[in-house]
């Protein structure tokens, strides 16, 4: 009877220790890297305590010499199997960051709150009554149609990696990247005053947000590639009185470009 109770206690310990380690492993593998330290702490603690329990069990059975080879193999093999099962349980039971975001979005929708499906930031560079615009070359678009050849502000979608320390980091980092990629310009965004003009599109309770920001001419610096884009017609300085005559990629882009000007 005592041996049976001891076996039950051992397996109960195996399961509890392994499940806790498995959850830690799940968080480490599917969420923040910072939780990896908890994963290794959990696994190390599990292994240490397992060996302690193994030694205590062997002693209770009369020592290693008195234990049959089958008992020793089971004592060593069973916790390993349980550990792998627990890690698999932890991996599949812990939600990813994206799954947590989706859950939060669903909760907001149930409460009647709007959810943003995308965020775009665009820069308005103005000099001598003219605005720098980009002639779009990409054929794909948010609207599912070919908008190449039409005009738009320099900018694009905010990416997760753009969010750093500071409340305005995402907007600044997005503009720095997009001005480099699309216009061949180096943007000195450290002292940029972030004043946002907003325009959004909504459908089925989901909204795509877009913002434009005035960028002083002295904060952007030309490169050789920028000069090539200008000479090739990919970038154009458009006078304010011509903004109403050119074809923008969308009504929203025109609104972002002309707010406070036309």
What is the pLDDT at residue 206? 75
Q: Above 70 in pLDDT, residue 183? A: yes
What is the pLDDT at residue 202? 81
Strands (DSSP E) found in the chain: 115-127, 130-135, 151-152, 154-157, 185-187, 197-203, 206-216, 220-222, 235-239
CB 102 within 8 A of CB 117: no
Residue 100 lies in a domain: no
Do 151 and 215 have their domain in common?
yes
Look up the CATH number of the domain holding residue 209: 3.90.79.10
Looking at residues 52-80, what average pLDDT do you find? Answer: 60
Give the lowest-confidence range in 15-19, 117-121, 198-202. Answer: 15-19
Give the lowest-confidence range in 50-54, 84-88, 163-167, 186-190. Answer: 50-54
Q: Are strands 115-127 and 206-216 parallel, antiparallel or unpaired?
A: parallel
What is the pLDDT at residue 152? 96
Instruction: Give residue-wise pLDDT tens across range 111-162.
Output: 888 888 899 999 999 999 999 999 988 777 656 678 888 999 999 999 999 9
Mean residue pLDDT across the chain? 80
Residue 22 lies in a domain: yes
* Distances, alpha carbon 176 to alpha carbons 20, 49, 137, 141, in Å: 44, 52, 20, 21
Residue 90 lies in a domain: yes
Do 123 and 74 have their domain in common?
no
Give the lowest-confidence range in 27-31, 85-89, 176-180. Answer: 27-31
Looking at residues 2-13, what average pLDDT do you find? Answer: 64
What is the pLDDT at residue 142? 59
Number of domains within the chain: 2
Q: Above 70 in pLDDT, residue 50? A: no
Do 197 and 226 have their domain in common?
yes
Q: Above 60 in pLDDT, residue 177? A: yes
* Per-residue b or e along 190-228, where b marks 16 or more CB atoms closer than 10 Å to that residue's CB: eebebeebebebeeeeeebbbbbbebeeebbeeeeebee
Do 79 and 195 have their domain in common?
no
Has this prediction a pTM greater than 0.75? Answer: no
Place of tokens 């792998």: 84
**How far apart (Å, rounded) are the C-alpha atoms in residues 173 and 168?**
9
Residue 99 lies in a domain: no
Domain that holds residue 222: 105-258
**How far apart (Å, rounded) are the C-alpha atoms in residues 144 and 117?**
16
């Amino acid at each position: 009877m005592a041996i049976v109770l001891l076996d039950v206690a051992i397996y109960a310990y195996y399961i509890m220790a392994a499940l806790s380690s498995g959850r830690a492993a799940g968080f480490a593998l599917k969420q923040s890297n910072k939780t990896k330290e908890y994963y290794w702490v959990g696994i190390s603690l599990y292994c240490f305590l397992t060996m302690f329990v193994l030694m205590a069990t062997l002693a209770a059975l009369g020592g290693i010499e008195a234990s049959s080879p089958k008992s020793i193999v089971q004592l060593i093999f069973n916790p390993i199997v349980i550990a792998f099962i627990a890690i698999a349980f932890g991996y599949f039971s812990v939600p990813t960051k994206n799954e947590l975001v989706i859950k939060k979005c669903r909760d907001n929708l149930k409460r009647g709150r709007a959810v943003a499906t995308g965020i775009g930031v665009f820069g308005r560079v103005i000099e001598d009554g003219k605005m720098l615009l980009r002639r779009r070359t990409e054929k794909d678009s948010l609207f599912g149609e070919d908008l190449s050849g039409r005009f738009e502000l320099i900018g694009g979608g905010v990416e997760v990696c753009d969010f750093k320390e500071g409340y305005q980091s995402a907007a600044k980092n997005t503009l720095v990247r997009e001005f480099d990629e699309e216009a061949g310009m180096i943007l000195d965004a450290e002292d940029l005053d972030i004043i946002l003009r907003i325009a959004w599109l909504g459908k089925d309770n989901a909204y795509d947000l877009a913002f434009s920001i005035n960028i002083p001419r002295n904060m952007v610096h030309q490169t050789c590639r920028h000069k090539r884009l200008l000479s090739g017609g990919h970038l154009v300085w458009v006078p304010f009185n011509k903004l109403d005559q050119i074809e923008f990629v969308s009504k929203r882009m025109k609104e972002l470009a002309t707010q406070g000007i036309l």
